[in-house]
């Protein structure tokens, strides 16, 4: 078979609508029902539930307390929009850049195995790292299956610029995850290199 990949001139949120259009078209062609979308404040997710009507939108956000203790970045307004549109919001510990790993990084300034994995995936773009991460988080939460393909959408900073068809895995079998098709990605998404890997945070939309 032959596929088509769209390459965006620049990374970032201005690609969001086109990413959604491409993802929706491919989801329909393949009969995929689950769309996993990375969305921190919820703007991308709120738009996704409008675009992907009839499909299950799973919006993966940050944990409460990611930026400062006891605060949730996903806005109440966006939460209401996503839930009204039938979407699901997941705010859980990041597989590659969160949890105790993040504490080790912050406190002891150390790089960990997850940093190596994240940095390697970022060679294909920040969005590729993000789609792997959020899909595993969704699988761990029981929101997607590991024997069914999903379309996963991520970005570089805010909005979306990357979409793939992938087969999720649980974090305990992280390396079983398979990216089957790359639908779109930025040609070149520079990753901040001024900090240790992982510290710049991941899917901020």
> Is the pLDDT score of 56 beyond 60?
yes
Which position has the higher pLDDT, 68 or 189? 68
pLDDT at residue 91 in the model: 94
Nearest to 159 by CA among 125, 195, 124, 127: 127
pLDDT at residue 190 in the model: 75
> Is the pLDDT score of 191 beyond 80?
no
- Percent of the chain exceeding pLDDT 90 equals 87
pLDDT at residue 189 in the model: 76
pLDDT category at 97 given cuts 50, 70, 90 is confident
Considering the chain, what is the average pLDDT of its residues?
Answer: 93
Q: Radius of gyration of the chain from Cα atoms?
A: 16
Secondary structure (H, E, C), 15-61:
HHHHHHHHHHHHHHHHCCCEEEEECCCCHHHHHHHHHCCCCEEEEEE
Return d(Cα 144, Cα 151) in angstroms, integer: 11
At a CB cut-off of 8 Å and minimum separation 6, what does 194 contact? none
Average pLDDT over residues 107-119: 95
Return d(Cα 17, Cα 54) in angstroms, integer: 18
Nearest to 8 by CA among 126, 87, 135: 126
> Is the pLDDT score of 58 beyond 90?
yes
- Per DSSP, 198 falls in state T
162-187 per-position pLDDT tens digit: 999 999 999 999 999 999 999 999 99
Structural domains in the chain? 6-186 (3.40.1380.20)
Sheet holding 56-61, edge to edge: 6-8, 178-186, 162-167, 150-154, 34-38, 56-61, 88-91
11-42 per-position pLDDT tens digit: 999 999 999 999 999 999 999 999 999 999 99
H or E element in which residue 106 lies: helix 99-108
pLDDT category at 192 given cuts 50, 70, 90 is low
């Amino acid at each position: 078979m032959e596929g088509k990949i769209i390459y965006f001139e620049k990374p970032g949120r201005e690609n969001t609508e086109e990413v959604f259009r491409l993802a929706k078209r491919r989801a329909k062609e393949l009969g995929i029902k689950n769309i996993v979308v990375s969305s921190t404040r919820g703007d991308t997710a709120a738009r996704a539930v409008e675009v992907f009507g009839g499909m299950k939108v799973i919006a993966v956000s940050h944990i409460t307390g990611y930026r400062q203790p006891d605060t949730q970045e996903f806005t109440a307004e966006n939460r209401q929009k996503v839930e009204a549109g039938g979407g699901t919001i997941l705010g859980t510990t990041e597989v590659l850049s969160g949890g105790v790993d993040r504490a080790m990084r912050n406190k002891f300034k150390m790089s960990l195995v997850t940093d190596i994995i994240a940095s390697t995936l970022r060679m294909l773009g920040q969005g590729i790292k993000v789609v792997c991460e959020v899909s595993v988080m969704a699988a761990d939460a029981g929101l997607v299956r590991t024997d069914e393909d999903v379309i996963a959408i991520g970005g570089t900073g805010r909005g979306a610029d990357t979409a793939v068809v992938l087969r999720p895995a649980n974090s305990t079998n992280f390396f079983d995850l398979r990216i089957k098709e790359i639908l779109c990605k930025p040609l070149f998404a520079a990753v901040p290199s001024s900090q240790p890997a992982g510290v710049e945070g991941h899917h901020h939309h």
